[in-house]
Amino acid sequence: MNLARLDRTLFFAATSGVLLAAAFPRPNLFWLAWVALVPLLLVMRRRPFAAGFTAGGVFFAIVLYWLNFVMITYGGLSFPFAVLAYLFLVVYLASYIGLATWLSSRLEVTFKLPFLLTLPFIWVALEYLRGVMFTGFPWALIGYSQQDFSLAIQSCDVTGVYGVSFILIVVNCAVAGMIAAPKSRLAWLGAVVALGISISHFGYGFWRESQPLDEQTDHLRVSLIQGNIDQMQKWDPEYRQTSIDIYHDLSLLALENRPELVIWPEAATPFYLQDRSQFATQVRKLPPKLNAFLLVGSPAYEQLAADNYRYFNSAYLFSPSGLEMGRSDKRHLVPFGEYVPLGDLLGFVDKLVVGVGDFSSGQVRSLPLDGHALGVLICYEAIFPQLARDYIRNGSDLLVNLTNDAWFGRTSAPYQLLAMTRFRAIENRVWIARAANTGVSALIAPSGNVVISGPIFEALELTGSVGLGAGETFYTRFGDLFAYICIGISAVFLFALLLAKKWQKFPLVCRERSLL
C-alpha cells in the first residue's frame, strides 16, 4: 500500500484507534493505552475533528464488533439492518472523541494552550456526558483498559474510573509532546508534570495495595450457580423443567461447600416466580434443603388494572426457611432491549430481547440478609457507577451482579463487562458477587481483583468467602466530583472560545503542518 496516496492524518488517527482497542479485553494489552493516542495527537492539528472521529470510529468499531452477533443471532435483524444500526452507534460514539480533539485543537490555535492542559479535562468531561446522555452508554471508557493494572486503578475510590482516564490522556499528551519537540522547554515541562501526576497516582495505588485485602469483620460463604442455559431454549416453555433441574442440581452440589447464600443469575427462572405455579413451588422449596439464603433472577409484574400490567426484570431473595425476604427490580433498562424509547413514536421498532413485554424501571431497594443488606445490579447496570454507589449509600454491605451474557456468545463482550464491573468494587471498597448464566461468574474483592472465576459456557458452581460491609470512600461520599470538575473546566474553555473574536476564523480543517 502506498502511504503517499492515503490521507496520512487519518491513517495515523486510525492507527491510534487500533492500538487503543487492543488495550481492551480481548487481547487486553492494557499497557498500549498509555501510548495508543500518540499517533493521533501528532497529526490531529491538520484535521482536528476528522482525526479524532476516525480514531474513535476505528476504536468503537473494533471494541463493539459483537453487537452484530447479538442483533443478528438474537435480535432477528437481517445482516444489512444490523450493520446499519451498529454503524450508527459507532458514528455517535466516535463523535465524542472527534469533539474532544477539535475543541483541544481550537484552544491551542486560539490561546496557545498545549494539549496537555486541555485535552485531559475535555476528554473526561465528554466521557461522563456519554455515560448520561440519551440514557447513557459508558461502555469502554478509556480508563477501563487498565482493569489488570492494579496500581493504576486503586485511585477509583477517589475519582472513579474518570481519574484513570485522565492520567492516561495526560501521559499520552506528554509522550506526544516529547516526540514532536524533544528540545522544547514546554515539552519537558509537560513531561515533568505528567511524571509528578503519575508518581502520586501510582504511589496512592501502592499504598492501597499494601492495605489488607479484606478489612471487613463479617464474612459470608457464597455459591454462584452458572446454569449455562442456551439462550435459544431459555424461554421455551417445554424447557422450563430442565432449567429448574439444572439450577436445582448445581445448588445441591454446592452444599458440600456449606454456602450461606446461593445466587442464581439474571432471569434464571423463565417464568413468573411470584405465581404459585409448580415451577415456582420447586424454587421456593429449595432454600430449606440448602439451609441458605437463595437469590434468584426472575421476571416480575404488577397489575395496575384489569388489562394493564407493569413488568420488571427482578431478583427475589428467600430466607433459609423459604420465606420471601424481598424483591429488587432493575433500574437502568437496555434501550431497544428491554424497552423501546419514545414508545409512542417508535412503536414499530421491535425489541432485540426475547422476553415478556416492555419492562419498567424499578427503585433502589436493598434486600435484607441476616442483619446485612444486598444491593443487586442486574446485567449491564454494573457499568453505571452511580447505580452501585446508590446501593452502598442505601446501606448495602455486598453488591451482587446478576447477568445473562449468553447474548454475547463467545465474543470479548463478557470479558469487557466483567472488566467494568471490577471498578464498582474499587469505587466503594465493597465485595461483588457476580453470577452469570454462561459466565463469567466471579467474586471480586474491594481491591478490584478477581478472587475466583470460572470459564464461560460451562455449567458450574463456584463457592468462596466474601466480606460484608463497604469502605467509607471519597467516591461513595461525593460521587463523580472529579468528573464534574472536568466538566466545569471544559465549560470555561468553551465559554472562552465563544468570547474569542477569532471563533469564525477557525475552520474544521486547519492548514497548519502536522507533526508526522
Choose among 271, 266, 318, 328: nearest CA to 290: 318
For residue 122 the three cell numbers come to 475535555
In what helix (H) or strand (E) does residue 6 lie, and over which residues does it extend?
Answer: none
For the entire predicted model, the pTM comes to: 0.93
Q: Which residues are catalytic?
A: 266, 330, 379
Is the CB of residue 159 less than 8 Å from the CB of residue 475? yes
Residue keyed to cell 478489612: 215
The reply to whether 465 and 436 lie within a common domain is yes
- The span from the CA of 475 to the CA of 448, in Å, is 15
The reply to whether 202 and 233 lie within a common domain is no
In a domain, 513, yes or no: no
The reply to whether 196 and 326 lie within a common domain is no
Is the CB of residue 428 less than 8 Å from the CB of residue 389? yes
Question: What's residue 245's pLDDT?
Answer: 96
In a domain, 358, yes or no: no
In a domain, 256, yes or no: yes
Q: Which residues contact 89 (CB under 8 A, 6 or more apart)?
A: 60, 64, 67, 137
Question: What's residue 337's pLDDT?
Answer: 64
- How far apart are the two ends of the chain, measured CA to CA in Å? 18
The reply to whether 197 and 223 lie within a common domain is no
In a domain, 42, yes or no: yes
For residue 299 the three cell numbers come to 421476571
Is the CB of residue 38 less than 8 Å from the CB of residue 172? yes
- How many Cβ atoms are within 10 Å of 148's Cβ, its own excluded? 17
User: Distance of alpha carbon 48 from its chain centroid, rounded?
Assistant: 28
Mean pLDDT of successive 10-residue stretches along the chain, which has 516 residues: 67 97 95 98 95 98 95 85 94 98 95 96 98 94 97 97 98 97 92 96 94 75 96 86 96 95 96 91 96 96 85 96 95 72 49 58 92 95 97 96 93 96 98 96 97 96 96 95 98 92 52 52
Q: Which residues contact 322 (CB under 8 A, 6 or more apart)?
A: 284, 285, 287, 288
Domain coverage including residue 435:
218-332+364-470
The reply to whether 279 and 154 lie within a common domain is no
Question: What's residue 499's pLDDT?
Answer: 87
The reply to whether 198 and 232 lie within a common domain is no
In a domain, 29, yes or no: yes
Question: What's residue 7's pLDDT?
Answer: 84
In a domain, 346, yes or no: no
In what helix (H) or strand (E) does residue 474 lie, and over which residues does it extend?
Answer: helix 474-478
The reply to whether 454 and 485 lie within a common domain is no
| Number of residues written out for the chain | 516
For residue 62 the three cell numbers come to 473494533
Overall number of domains in the chain: 2
Distances (CA, A) of 488 to 411, 422, 491, 492, 494: 38, 28, 5, 6, 10
Is the CB of residue 285 less than 8 Å from the CB of residue 273? no
Sheet holding 372-378, edge to edge: 367-369, 372-378, 398-403, 432-436, 442-444, 450-453
The reply to whether 75 and 126 lie within a common domain is yes
The reply to whether 106 and 225 lie within a common domain is no
For residue 293 the three cell numbers come to 439464603
Question: What's residue 509's pLDDT?
Answer: 47
- The span from the CA of 53 to the CA of 43, in Å, is 13
How wide is the angle at C-alpha 68 spanned by C-alphas 79 and 49, nearest 5°? 105
- The span from the CA of 22 to the CA of 32, in Å, is 7
Domain harbouring 381, CATH code:
3.60.110.10
Residue keyed to cell 461502555: 139
User: Distance of alpha carbon 295 from its chain centroid, rounded?
Assistant: 23
For residue 65 the three cell numbers come to 464488533
In a domain, 510, yes or no: no
Is the CB of residue 467 less than 8 Å from the CB of residue 444? no
Strand partners, 418: none
Question: What's residue 102's pLDDT?
Answer: 97
In a domain, 352, yes or no: no
Residue keyed to cell 475533528: 49
The reply to whether 153 and 252 lie within a common domain is no
Eight-class DSSP state of 329 = E
Helix, strand, coil percentages (3-state) for the chain, rounded to 5, are 50, 15, 35
The reply to whether 421 and 387 lie within a common domain is yes
The reply to whether 251 and 296 lie within a common domain is yes
